[in-house]
Homo-oligomer: A and B are copies of this chain.
């Protein structure tokens, strides 16, 4: 197998395009890197297009990668295409993930969360809390932004994450008798007054402005987390963690 040595190689240029939203939209692919993430993709039977390793790195023999092609590149090429400062020697191109949302009983709805770290961390938290799906409304960071992918720590392979119209989803959950809880600072109830349940949807919002008022008017109930000190608010990913773990029925 011939290794790729030039950062100007056509394949390398194609990979680099995946670091932009435009490039991802055009191809329907995304880029992921580092052992942990690529391993999660392999273990989850994600639709990998190809694996990329540098000369110092081999695909671990235990990985079942089937007939996914493996490209070998120089360390310089890996560095050129990597979205991190210190690439780990392994990366992959993956098709954007299909998502099946029938019968979802618990969901995290996210309105316009723009920080990639926050968005990825919330997907990871929803996974940890055993939530069935995550729905991203308009104005959220792109799910396949490498920083979002990294912050999920692989959880995007574990549960369906879809873009959607939050108004439709709120209505759909309510029709099915599933309560939808918005998060708000005013006209809201202390979150501890809500009894844990095996079906609910939680709606969290933008870092600065919170959940859009329109959506808050559609929810079953709005809740807040009390602030005991002088902080104005909690980080949205921390708040989502506290609420998801409080709302879900214990096992």
Nearest B residue to A43 by beta-carbon distance? Answer: B230
Known: A225-B245, A250-B192. Contact between A235 and B130, CB under 8 A?
no
A93 at the interface (CB under 8 A from B): no
Tell me the minimal C-beta distance from A197 to chain B in angstroms: 14
Quick one: closest B residue to A126, CB to CB?
B229
- A69-77, A151-159, A173-181: which one contacts chain B? A151-159
A40 to B: closest C-beta gap in Å: 9
Given the complex, which residues of B lie within 8 Å of A155, measured CB to CB?
229-231
Residues of B within 8 A of A227 (CB): 128
Q: Which of A18-26, A137-145, A236-244 contacts the other chain?
A: A236-244
* A132 nearest in chain B by CB position: B229
Please report the C-alpha to C-alpha distance between residue A233 and residue B130 in the assembled complex, in whole angstroms: 12
Decide: A125 near B230, CB < 8 A? Known: A225-B245, A242-B242, A245-B225.
no
In the assembled complex, the Cα of A125 lies from the Cα of B239 at a distance in Å of 9
Contact partner of A131 (CB less than 8 A), chosen from B154, B192, B229, B250, is B229
Q: Are A158 and B127 in contact (CB under 8 A)?
A: no
Output the nearest chain B residue to A123 by Cβ-Cβ distance. B231
Given the contacts A117-B117, A192-B250, A250-B192, A234 and B229 also touching, CB distance less than 8 Å: no
Check B251 against A228 for contact (C-beta < 8 Å): yes
Q: Which residue in chain B gives the minimum CB-CB distance to A125?
A: B238
B128 touches A231 (CB 8 A): yes
> Hey, what's the 0/1 contact readout for A15-42 against B, CB within 8 Å counting as 1?
0000000000000000000000000000
Tell me if A129 counts as interface (CB < 8 A to partner B): yes
Contacts of A225 in B (CB 8 A): 128, 245
Q: With A117-B117, A235-B121 known to touch, is A127 a contact of B230 (CB < 8 Å)?
A: yes
Can you list 16 A-B contacts with CB-CB less than 8 angstroms, sorted by A residue number? A124-B235, A125-B235, A128-B225, A128-B227, A128-B228, A128-B231, A128-B233, A128-B234, A129-B229, A130-B229, A158-B231, A228-B251, A237-B237, A237-B238, A238-B241, A241-B241
Kindly list 17 other residue pairs between chains A and B, CB separation below 8 angstroms, not including A155-B229, A226-B251, A228-B251.
A121-B238, A124-B234, A124-B235, A127-B229, A127-B231, A128-B225, A128-B227, A128-B233, A129-B228, A130-B229, A158-B229, A158-B231, A225-B245, A228-B248, A235-B241, A237-B237, A241-B241
